[in-house]
Amino acid sequence: MIKAVLFDLDNTLLGNSMDSFIPPYFDSLTRYCRDLAPPQELMDALMRGTAAMDANSCDSTTNIETFNAVFFSRLNIAEDILRPRLEQFYAMEFPKLRPLTHPMPDARAFVTWAFEQCLKVVIATNPLFPRSAIHHRLAWAGIPVDEFDYDVVTTYETMHATKASSAYYSEIVSLLDREPHECLMIGDDFARDMQPASAAGLPVYWIASPDAIPPDARVPLLGQGSLSDAWGWLRKAI
């Protein structure tokens, strides 16, 4: 029986194409810090820090600790100088990216319903971003943290792996104190939502066109379709 539902965020609960979002995001961040670090140098440090997080495998090191060790080692600036600027960016500039996104139909209604069913509800977004950025994106999706008491919201401050590894999903299951088969993962990214979650023992529902061909036929999908379709499936399953 399903006792918890894990929602991917981007292109599941929030319309947000990473191909359209990431370039303006990086451009805005590097411009905001250009008086402290050359944009290309900062970009290189960001990319290497992100790659290091993707290599995390749920040991004792959080993603932010892994990121910082690589990121700040590649910059000729003290952490105590750059960090406040980065925090200021996420508070003041990051929200200006909201027009690049849009709420997904049924997202708020589905999340509300899940809470009404007393399911544990997780925002299982790739923990490559700080908490503040993820909270902004949840607000853009119409499901802010000040209205919904999520059991887990994965951020780089708290998680020890990313969606590149099944260890990410195993860590969520452990945090929920549930068994993998009790935790449904719903997401659009086959490689980062379906494959690693299934490898960790979670049942998975793919947000994709009903006629889309799964990239890996070995992954046992409960179904595929829109967020509304996933909601309909879960209503019948619990």
Looking at the fold, whether 50 and 154 belong to one and the same domain comes out as no
The DSSP 8-state label assigned to residue 175 in this structure reads H
Shared-domain flag, residues 186 and 106: yes
Which residues face 14 on adjacent strands?
10, 103
Q: What gap in Å lies between CA 63 and CA 46, rounded to an integer?
A: 13
pLDDT digits (tens, 9 = 90+) for 87-137: 999 999 999 999 999 999 999 999 999 999 999 999 999 999 999 999 999
- For the chain, give the mean pLDDT: 96
- Domain containing residue 159: CATH number: 3.40.50.1000
Claim to verify: residue 75 and residue 107 sit in the same structural domain: no
Q: Rounded to whole angstroms, how far apart are CA atoms 29 and 32?
A: 5
* Range 2-7 average pLDDT: 98
Q: Using an 8 Å Cβ cutoff, are 172 and 200 in contact?
A: no
Whether the Cβ atoms of residue 175 and residue 169 lie closer than 8 Å to each other: no
Total residues found in the chain within this entry? 238
pTM greater than the 0.85 cutoff: yes
Torsion sign over Cα 157, 158, 159, 163: negative
Cα separation, 232 vs 120, whole angstroms: 18
Q: Do 146 and 110 have their domain in common?
A: yes
- What pLDDT score was predicted for residue 59? 79
Boundary of a domain, candidates 78, 98, 118: 98
Q: Which of 209, 207, 175 is nearest to 190 (CA)?
A: 207
115 and 174 together in one domain: yes
* Domain shared by 182 and 121, yes or no: yes
Domain of residue 156: give its range.
4-16+102-237
Residue 77 sits in the same domain as residue 164 = no
Q: Which pLDDT score is estimated for 34? A: 96
* pLDDT tens sequence across 14-69: 999 989 999 999 999 999 999 999 999 999 999 999 999 999 887 789 999 999 99
**Whether residues 59 and 48 fall in one domain:** yes
What six digits make up the tokens of 231? 């909601």
Q: Is 208 found in the same domain as 118?
A: yes
Compute the distance between CA of residue 46 and CA of residue 143 in angstroms, rounded to an integer: 28
CB 141 within 8 A of CB 195: no
In the chain, the number of structural domains is: 2
> Buried b / exposed e across 1-25, counting CB within 10 Å, b at 16+?
ebbbbbbbbbbbbbbbeeeeeeeeb
- Whole-number pLDDT of residue 223: 96
Q: How far apart are the C-alpha atoms of 47 and 41, rounded to whole Å? A: 10
Q: Higher pLDDT residue, 200 or 76?
A: 200
